[in-house]
């Protein structure tokens, strides 16, 4: 018995370690993403406000744990501990259904199934911790029910707990009712069937009444949302199939335990354990294949490092695997610009047109937040502010974003809108992980000298345009030109201006904008040299029209490229090996 208990404990710990490592290392940026698009406040008003709708307590604890996702190891530890808690509760509820608990310990691995499936569900960044916490509360209520000796008291407890759990945890309260009723029905030799029938009908009626009363209390909520109350998924009204499978497994596993055969021989125990292990491995493998989105994890990694201003980390990711999505490419270009590498190494990576430099506004929360980072660092503070605000307002479920609120505090501080900045900072002062930053930032309010001396805010305050102009998605080069002419020290604006024309293959404007720089270097950066050489080539390399900044080596390489292309115009793959990192290759083969 002791050996069995030790083995079962080891299984739970091993499961927790696997979950911790997976989410803490390999899938960590999904956690960062979830943390940045919610706002958890430590105030009593926030707590009571959250409890004013069904499922509020589970939602509150879900957000409380999610705020720790700012650190992937802490967030992964929270997930691991919660999943272990669910597994342990499923186990204890299951063995509470049987008399001979020691012999049923051979089926311990079955209690891991709901936790494994939930771990797979959490690979979807829109799947929240709420249902997991709600299940923990529901199973704790079942354990308490099992401790009640009096049958009448148990029945009263059941009928009272359904509406209470409905309000605290949402529709997951059905799990509590189903487990309890199935337990009573499977022990019908001890109970009167008529009484159980009345009890079952009463439980259903009480659940329906709970929903109707909630509708009376919360008029603005659609009835459909109240039938399936609880923010279990980021998009309101969506109840994923995998969540239904988790709930069914939690309900059925305790019933299954009652009828599983008791095996005592060592051979039979090994066989049973092996079957369960294979089932769990197959289940975990299916979950990884079905729910793990490694492409999105990569995009979220770019976003996280941009948010944290870890530009070298972004470039390191791109060096290992060249990004090809607009958001990833745009973030990489931002990192290159921040490290002063953009003109030199821009076309060493895949470029997919102007959208890979300055993506268009789409009112989609994570995309607008990522694009807003670019405009912020360019000095278009009002545009960055609009993207932050609109991105936050687009978050499903009317959630607020701690990331957006921090950016709104910064943009208003830079613009000198101190009262508005103070409002956002006062919100962040009631968070756990942003309190210190908010208090420090508050010292900049109404202090012009201190703001101007700040290494980031002071510079951006100088770069931002002082006069109003119309933001146009179709004339981004004009906006970059306005930025640069307003403050010629804004090198990033100049580089983005030229990069935008190169990506649009607008070489006449590139040539004009290139000469906005009064001091033309003896040798221009690589992408500029290649574009200038191509422009010069259109004049048959007329010596009198040779642009400044190009060298003979670049001209020779262009002639070689032109010759190879003339021989075989369908030689895209062949030419990539030698010329894939040149602007000429992009000009001929990309972004048509």
Q: How many CB atoms lie within 10 A of CB 297?
A: 17
Q: Is 323 a member of any domain?
A: yes
Work out whether the CA dihedral 269, 273, 276, 278 comes out positive or negative. Answer: negative
For 560, the 3-state DSSP assignment is helix
Residue 102 above 80 pLDDT?
no
Tell me the C-alpha distance between 550 and 582, whole Å: 14
Residue 44 and residue 189 in one domain: yes
Least confident of 13-27, 148-162, 358-372, 525-539: 358-372
Q: Label residues 163-173 b or e (16+ Cβ within 10 Å = b).
A: bebbbbbbbbb
Residue 199 and residue 87 in one domain: yes
Residue 27 and residue 98 in one domain: yes
Q: Convert the pLDDT of each residue in 128-148 to its tens digit.
A: 999 999 999 999 999 999 999
Q: Is 471 a member of any domain?
A: no
Residue 385 and residue 437 in one domain: yes
Residue by residue, DSSP assigns 36-91 as: HT-----SHHHHHHHTTSTTHHHHHHHHHHHGGGGSHHHHHHHHHHHHHHHHHHHH
Q: Is 502 a member of any domain?
A: no
User: Using 50, 70 and 90 to split pLDDT, how confident is the model at 98?
Assistant: low
Q: Is 481 a member of any domain?
A: no
Residue 427 above 90 pLDDT?
yes
Q: Is 152 a member of any domain?
A: yes
pLDDT number for residue 22: 97
Q: Is 479 a member of any domain?
A: no
CA dihedral (391, 394, 397, 398) in degrees, to 10, reads 70
Q: Label residues 326-358 b or e (16+ Cβ within 10 Å = b).
A: bbbbbbbbbbbbbeebbbebbbbbbbbebbbbb
Residue 265 and residue 410 in one domain: no
Closest CA to 197 of 209, 181, 183: 181
Residues 6 or more apart whose Cβ sits within 8 Å of residue 105 = 4, 5, 8, 95
As a whole number, mean pLDDT of residues 482-494 equals 91
> Could you tell me the pTM of the whole model?
0.92
Q: Is 373:412 a contact under the CB 8 Å cutoff?
A: no
Residue 253 and residue 320 in one domain: no
As a whole number, mean pLDDT of residues 457-472 equals 84
Residue 116 and residue 264 in one domain: yes
Q: Is 469 a member of any domain?
A: no
pLDDT number for residue 372: 92
Residue 393 and residue 259 in one domain: no
Closest CA to 130 of 53, 75, 56, 68: 56
Give the position of tokens 């272990």.
84
Q: Is 428:406 a contact under the CB 8 Å cutoff?
A: yes
| DSSP 8-state code for residue 37 | T
Residue 350 and residue 424 in one domain: yes
Strongest mean pLDDT among 102-116, 433-447, 514-528: 433-447
Tell me the C-alpha distance between 31 and 34, whole Å: 5
Choose the final residue of a domain: 266, 291, 316: 291
Q: Convert the pLDDT of each residue in 299-328 to its tens digit.
A: 999 999 999 999 999 999 999 999 988 899
pLDDT number for residue 8: 85
| DSSP 8-state code for residue 23 | I
Q: Is 30:297 a contact under the CB 8 Å cutoff?
A: yes
Residue 61 and residue 25 in one domain: yes
Residues in the chain: 592
Q: What is the CATH number of the domain that holds 459?
A: 1.25.40
pLDDT number for residue 575: 86
Residue 275 and residue 302 in one domain: no
Q: How many CA atoms lie within 13 A of 44 on its CB side?
A: 0
Residue 2 above 70 pLDDT?
no
Closest CA to 411 of 383, 371, 452: 383
The total number of structural domains that make up the chain: 3
Q: Is 506 a member of any domain?
A: no
User: Using 50, 70 and 90 to split pLDDT, how confident is the model at 264?
Assistant: low
Give the residue numbers spanning the domain of 455: 295-463
Residue 349 and residue 257 in one domain: no
């Amino acid at each position: 018995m002791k050996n069995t208990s030790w083995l079962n404990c080891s299984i739970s710990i091993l499961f927790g370690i696997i979950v911790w490592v997976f989410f803490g290392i390999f899938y960590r940026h999904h956690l960062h993403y979830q943390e940045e698009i919610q706002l958890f406040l430590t105030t009593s008003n926030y707590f009571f406000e959250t409890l004013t709708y069904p499922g509020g307590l589970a939602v509150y604890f879900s957000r409380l744990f999610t705020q720790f996702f700012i650190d992937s190891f802490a967030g992964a530890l929270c997930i691991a501990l919660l999943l272990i808690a669910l597994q342990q509760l499923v186990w204890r509820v299951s063995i509470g259904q049987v008399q001979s608990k020691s012999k049923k310990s051979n089926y311990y691995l079955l209690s891991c199934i709901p936790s494994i499936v939930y771990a797979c569900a959490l690979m979807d960044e829109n799947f929240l911790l709420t249902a997991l916490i709600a299940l923990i509360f529901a199973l704790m209520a079942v354990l308490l029910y099992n401790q009640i000796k009096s049958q009448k008291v148990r029945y009263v407890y059941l009928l009272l707990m359904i509406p209470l759990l409905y309000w605290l945890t949402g529709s997951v309260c059905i799990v509590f009712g189903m487990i309890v009723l199935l337990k009573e029905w499977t022990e019908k030799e001890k109970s009167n069937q008529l009484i159980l029938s009345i009890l079952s009908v009463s439980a259903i009626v009480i659940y329906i009444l709970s929903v109707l009363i909630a509708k009376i209390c919360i008029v603005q909520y659609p009835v459909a949302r109240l039938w399936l109350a609880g923010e279990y998924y980021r998009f309101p009204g969506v109840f994923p199939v995998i969540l239904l499978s988790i709930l069914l497994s939690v309900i059925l596993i305790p019933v299954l335990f009652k009828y599983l055969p008791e095996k005592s021989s060592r051979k039979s125990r090994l066989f049973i354990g092996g079957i369960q292990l294979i089932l769990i491995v197959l289940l975990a493998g299916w979950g990884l294949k079905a729910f793990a989105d490694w492409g999105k994890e990569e995009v979220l990694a770019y976003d996280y490092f941009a948010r944290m201003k870890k530009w070298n980390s972004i470039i390191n990711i791109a060096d290992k695997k060249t990004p090809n999505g607009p958001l990833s490419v745009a973030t990489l270009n931002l990192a290159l610009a921040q490290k002063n590498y953009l003109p030199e190494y821009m076309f060493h990576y895949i470029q997919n047109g102007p959208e890979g430099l300055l993506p268009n506004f789409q009112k989609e929360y994570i995309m607008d937040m990522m694009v807003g980072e670019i405009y912020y660092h360019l000095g278009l503070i009002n545009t960055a502010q609009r993207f932050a605000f609109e991105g936050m307002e687009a978050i499903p479920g009317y959630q607020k974003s701690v990331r957006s609120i921090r950016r709104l505090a910064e943009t208003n501080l830079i613009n000198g809108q101190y009262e508005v900045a103070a409002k956002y900072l006062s919100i962040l002062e009631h968070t756990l992980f942003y309190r210190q930053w908010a208090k420090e930032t508050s010292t900049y309010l109404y202090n012009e000298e201190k703001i101007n001396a700040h290494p980031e805010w002071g510079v951006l305050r100088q770069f931002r345009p002082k006069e109003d102009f119309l933001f146009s998605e179709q004339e981004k080069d004009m906006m970059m030109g306005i930025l640069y002419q307003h403050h010629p020290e804004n090198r990033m604006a100049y580089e983005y201006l030229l990069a935008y024309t190169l990506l649009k293959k607008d070489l006449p404007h590139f040539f004009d904008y290139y000469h906005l720089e009064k001091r033309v270097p003896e040798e221009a950066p690589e992408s500029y040299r290649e574009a200038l050489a191509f422009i010069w080539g259109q004049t048959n390399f007329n010596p009198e029209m040779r642009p400044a900044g190009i060298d003979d080596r670049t001209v020779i390489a262009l002639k070689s490229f032109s010759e190879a292309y003339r021989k075989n115009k369908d030689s895209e793959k062949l030419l990539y090996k030698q010329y894939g990192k040149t602007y000429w290759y992009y000009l001929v083969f990309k972004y048509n």
